[in-house]
Chain A
Amino acid sequence: MSVLPLAILTPFTFIILTLFIKNVRTRNFLSVTLAIINLGIAIYILSAVNSSEMLKTQMGSWPAPYGITLVADRFSAFMLLMSAVVFLAVTIYSVQSIDYERLKNNYFLFTYGILMGVNGSFLAGDIFNLYVWFEVMLMGSFILISFGGERAQLEGAIKYLILNLISSLFFVAGIGILYGKMGSLNMADLAYKFSLTGDFPSLFEPSLILLLVGFAIKGALFPFFFWLPASYHTPPPAVSALFAGLLTKVGIYSLIRIYTLFLHYYDYFWNPIILWMGILSMVIGVITATAQFDFRKILSFHIISQVGYVIIGLAFFTVSGLAAAIFFLGHNMISKTNTFLVAGWVHRETGTLNLKNLGDMFNRNTLWGVLFFISAFSLAGLPPLSGFAGKYLIIKAGIENNQILVAMVALFVGLFTLFSMVKIWIEVFWKNTPKQEFSEKELPKAKYLPFGYMITGSIFLALAIIVMGVWAEPIAGFCEKAATDLLNNQKYINFVLQ
């Protein structure tokens, strides 16, 4: 029996158990335990994939182009591991951070729904199956974003909901047209059929454009990003940390998957689109972030800009570019989530996230300050943190690929990222608390926060960032192997269809 279904069955088990269990403490305990088990499974899949190249499961023993296939190559295994790390940290954090009312209303049921969707999308070898996992993930996120029913949350939820539904419709319409043209839904089979068609792109462009737009909305790429900063700052901080870590990355993962499997056959058409989407997301995300004065809003805009780095790595379409993209994706998941976790702590301490009203948080709790420093400056790309290695790889790939201008843009965007992070650092942690003229009510007094669940989750992620920065070389080597596999899509096709 293959191990792959366990990655989906573990969250499913939790969902069943939590419907029977009424006690909140038992549920919390169970959720943390299963998150650890999920991490264990992800590590096991990674090591298995590393030794045997790829794994697959044919659900129901139906052979490949007809049945539903689960495939894990190095890239999916890496993404599974990263999402498991993020999920474990956010789960530990949520136990303390989420209020009792939400926990009682089965908060963890929906986070595990998201985990199930995310794991499923990383493993899906069938494009309609990918859509179904997307919907599982989206249903969980729809409920979480409106969970609790505060006014701001509902406004964010409506924006998030409508744009994501439209992206799902694009996606599924694209799948329908693709099926009509190719007569298959298995991604390996599709790629095989595309490789036979030769130079005749116009038939497929409508469906592929629909797919691309669907993924670009999910992944918040340049012309379609506006839903993200409008909604990610509204739910409770733990929820926005989870969203920031997992949701957009699944869209990017799918984009990389379909690009390497079949879009690249019509490279002359798709490559400039992808490249410009990446560059513009990078630049526009980071420039709009400078004008913001809300902690989580700045971070939300930075999600867009960092997704752009991954996409230009993909657009180079060389081993070094794709390896850099994969590394950067992993780095971005953990660093971004951790900054949101720190934002959650600031919110809990002071009740506001407006930079103008905040200040002097470093003196309140030094450890949280250090945690923010690690994650934010990892985003900005300071050595020896993971962001430095990620940016270095991207820019090196750009120079090797003769895209000097793109590499320059990436460097300048890094500068602006540093500016935003320094701004948050100074405004929130460094400067003195401003006088009362800004905030109407008195800030609550500093609470003594014991060594609780929140800080454990955050420390766990910070350690992951440091590990990824210091031991960047073996990880980058692994990413390089993953990129080689991605570029050699014949291997994937043969493995799935054999």
Chain B
Amino acid sequence: MELILAIFIGLLYACGVYLVLRRSIVKVILGIFVLSNATNLIIFLAGGIKRSGAAFIAEGAEKIDPATISDPLPQALILTAIVISLGIASYILALKYKYFEVTGTHDLDQLSKTDQK
């Protein structure tokens, strides 16, 4: 399972990097989304994958055996990262829309106006 996930993450990173290197802004943005998903999966993979229960202490019990639950911390980290990427996704799409409205182009090569002064 780890190996499959690792290969899959590698593929996602490859796709993300390929998309980020494109000229169209839309593809760059999609590339960033793919990269952030791949990163979330890395945290998930690094936290260790095993088949075990959720980290909830049963009603009435005082504690739980750590061997029977999976580590909840990477899930919490991924949740935080997902929330952050939600905010960034909405912002970046709005920025893209505004940029297209102002300049009428999707091409990153047109971004050089401010550089040649």
Contact = CB atoms under 8 A, between A and B. Distances in A.
Chains A and B touch (C-beta atoms under 8 A apart): yes
Interface of A: 128, 132, 135, 139, 142-143, 146, 149-152, 154-159, 161-162, 165-166, 169, 172-173, 175-177, 179-181, 185, 230, 233-234, 293-294, 297, 354
A154 B102 contact: yes
B114 A179 contact: no
A179 B73 contact: yes
A293 B115 CA distance: 11
Given A154-B103, A158-B25, A169-B36, 9 more contacts: A152-B114, A154-B99, A155-B114, A165-B36, A165-B92, A166-B20, A173-B39, A177-B46, A179-B74
A297 B117 contact: yes
B105 to A, nearest CB: 11
Contact of A176 (B32, B43, B91, B113): B43
B47 A169 contact: no
Nearest to A231: B114
B57 interface: no
B116 to A, nearest CB: 10
Contacts, number: 94
B8 to A, nearest CB: 15
Nearest to A176: B43
A158 B114 contact: no
Given A169-B39, A173-B42, A176-B47, A151 B103 contact: yes
4 nearest A-B pairs in the assembled complex, by CB-CB distance: A180-B46, A176-B43, A176-B46, A154-B99
Interface string B63-102: 0000000000110010011001001100110010011001
A166 B32 contact: yes
Nearest to B25: A158
Contacts of B42: 173, 176-177
Contacts of B60: none
Contacts of B108: 158
B88 A139 contact: yes
B88 A143 contact: no
Contacts of B74: 176, 179
Contact of B114 (A175, A234, A354): A234
Contact of B87 (A139, A159, A176, A354): A139
A154 B98 contact: yes
B14 interface: no
A177 B45 CA distance: 9
- Among A135, A149, A169, A230, chain B packs the most CB atoms within 10 A around the CB of A169
Given A143-B91, A154-B95, A162-B20, A294 B117 contact: yes
A391 to B, nearest CB: 30
Nearest to A162: B28
Contacts of B28: 162
B88 A151 contact: no
Contact of B46 (A143, A179, A233): A179
B111 interface: yes
B35 A166 contact: yes
Contact of A180 (B20, B48, B114): B48
A135 B84 contact: yes
A233 B45 CA distance: 41
A135 to B, nearest CB: 5
A178 B77 CA distance: 13
A161 B92 contact: yes
A128 B111 CA distance: 34
Contacts of A150: 102
Nearest to B102: A151
A158 B47 CA distance: 33
Contacts of A166: 20, 32, 35
25 contacts: A132-B84, A135-B84, A142-B88, A146-B95, A146-B98, A149-B98, A151-B102, A151-B103, A152-B113, A156-B114, A158-B111, A159-B111, A161-B92, A161-B95, A162-B32, A165-B32, A165-B36, A169-B36, A172-B39, A173-B39, A173-B42, A175-B77, A176-B43, A177-B46, A180-B45
Interface in B30-66: 32, 35-36, 39, 42-48
Given A156-B114, A158-B99, A230-B114, A175 B43 contact: yes
Contacts of B95: 142, 146, 154, 157-158, 161
A154 B88 CA distance: 16
Contacts of B102: 149-151, 154
A169 to B, nearest CB: 5
A234 B113 CA distance: 11
B77 A230 contact: no
Contacts of B32: 162, 165-166, 169
Contacts of B39: 169, 172-173, 176
A150 B99 CA distance: 9
